Amino acid sequence: MAVRFDASGEAYTRAISLGATTQFSISCWLKISVDRNALSSIWSLDNGFASGYALLQTDTDGTTLLYSDGSANRTLGSLTVGTWCYVGIAVNGANGTAVLQRTSDATATATTWSNGQASTNADTLRICASVFSGQFLNGCVAAFKIWTGATLSQAELEAEIWAYVPRRTANVKSWYPLLAAETVDFSGNAQTLSGGSGTTTEDGPPISWRSRTRTVIVPPAAASVTGDLAATLPPLTASATGTVEVAGQLAAALPPIGASLTAVVDTTAVLAATLPPLTATLSGDVSVNLLDATLPPLTASLTADVTVDGTLNAQLPALTTAIAGEVEIPPNDITVTSSGPVRGWAAGSPGDDWATGDSARAWASSSAARSWNADGAARAWSALPPTS
């Protein structure tokens, strides 16, 4: 919810009695409900005189947002009727920063200046009014916060955007949620407002009551991952034993293996990876549906089972060791050519006649030094008759 103003005399005021101050910061959410096409004030710091003031208001067109002080006007942006807009102002002497973000904006817009007045006469705080009469806002204001003696940085102003409760608690002078037409100061500093007669309420800006730091919960390392896992894994410098289960797609650059790895990798989809050189023994089971990889040269012992239920498309590495095995050749692929014997049983006719009685080398010579049938020969010539 937010407080709705629609007439002169409905403003909230507070005597803060700061005198001539050089540092202050103010933030709030605002919305134009009806374009008055006139100067319309959101808040003012002043001492009741038209000098030394600080003022957030629209220009005479009713939608151009200005930050004004006794020295100049700065255009911060344009407003749209019915659209909530956050504005944070931080002043340090002549220097200032403004942050603006509409609910329709993706990011905040910052404006800075260095030609402001040296100090502001901060005796009175006014909401939906200014030191100039008749400049009321026909619209809504919510989550009003003021810090005195402090200049919030741009990052701190942006941190205040999405919550009613101040993120920065140091130097808070007062803060007014303005969820209802009430005058209570929620800072605990008893800076109660006056006025507000005739105000009503409308739906407020799309912000929460309190902001908090985002918390990221990291699951245990042993938990299963369902979806896509894309990561660069660090080098393995110690023994790893475990199970990695991926139900979606595993796309990763695998690091060199610098130690023993014993694990089961079960991939039910596609494993696309460049395998590193194998510099140690690898023991395990790899079960995949599709293995498409360039295998590295084998420089060490590999003991594993590889089961492929789909297609194995791989480039085998060069073989750098000896191959020992058997080669089977069909019988019809063998041709044997034999040369004639040096000494054959079927040698041609001898130079000497077979039947010559007085032949020098007669087959039946009784005086041969080595008889075919010699009884006392150390080695008997008992060869079988030749077949040819």
HSE, side-chain direction, 13 A CA sphere, residue 9 = 2
pLDDT at 70: 82
Residues 42 and 87: beta-carbon distance below 8 Å: yes
173 Cβ contact list (under 8 Å, min separation 6):
16, 146, 147, 148, 187, 189, 191
Mean pLDDT of the chain: 77
pLDDT at 332: 56
Distance CA 180, CA 193 (A): 13
pLDDT at 180: 95
* 327 pLDDT more than 80: no
- The arithmetic mean of pLDDT across residues 214-224, rounded, is 53
pLDDT at 49: 87
The pTM of this model reads: 0.57
pLDDT band of residue 242 (cuts 50, 70, 90) is: low
pLDDT at 190: 97
- The arithmetic mean of pLDDT across residues 233-248, rounded, is 57
Comparing 6-15, 153-162, 278-287, 311-320, which segment has the lowest mean pLDDT? Answer: 278-287
Share of the chain above pLDDT 90, in %: 53
Residues 24 and 91: beta-carbon distance below 8 Å: yes
* 382 pLDDT more than 60: no
Question: Exposed/middle/buried for 201, CB within 10 Å: 0-12, 13-18, 19+?
Answer: middle
* 204 pLDDT more than 90: yes
Residues 218 and 40: beta-carbon distance below 8 Å: no
Share of the chain above pLDDT 70, in %: 54
pLDDT band of residue 316 (cuts 50, 70, 90) is: low
* 37-77 pLDDT per residue, tens: 999 999 999 999 888 999 999 999 999 999 999 889 999 99
Residues 57 and 45: beta-carbon distance below 8 Å: no
Distance CA 131, CA 241 (A): 75
- The arithmetic mean of pLDDT across residues 82-92, rounded, is 98
pLDDT band of residue 217 (cuts 50, 70, 90) is: low
Q: Which of residues 160 and 257 earns the better pLDDT score?
A: 160
Q: Which of residues 263 and 181 earns the better pLDDT score?
A: 181
pLDDT at 269: 57
* 368 pLDDT more than 50: no
Domain boundaries, the chain: 2-202, 244-315
Residues 248 and 269: beta-carbon distance below 8 Å: yes
Most confident of 56-65, 218-227, 324-333: 56-65
* 240: helix, strand or coil: strand
Residues 68 and 128: beta-carbon distance below 8 Å: no
* 337 pLDDT more than 90: no
Comparing 127-131, 138-142, 273-277, 345-349, which segment has the lowest mean pLDDT? Answer: 345-349
pLDDT at 281: 56
In Å, how far from its chain's centre is CA 125? 47
pLDDT at 143: 98
* 274-315 pLDDT per residue, tens: 656 656 554 665 555 555 556 566 565 556 565 656 665 666
Encoded tokens for 295: 């295998």
- The arithmetic mean of pLDDT across residues 180-203, rounded, is 96
Encoded tokens for 329: 């050749």
Q: Which of residues 23 and 344 earns the better pLDDT score?
A: 23
Domain 2-202 has CATH 3.40.50.300: no
Q: Which of residues 276 and 211 earns the better pLDDT score?
A: 211
* 388 pLDDT more than 50: no
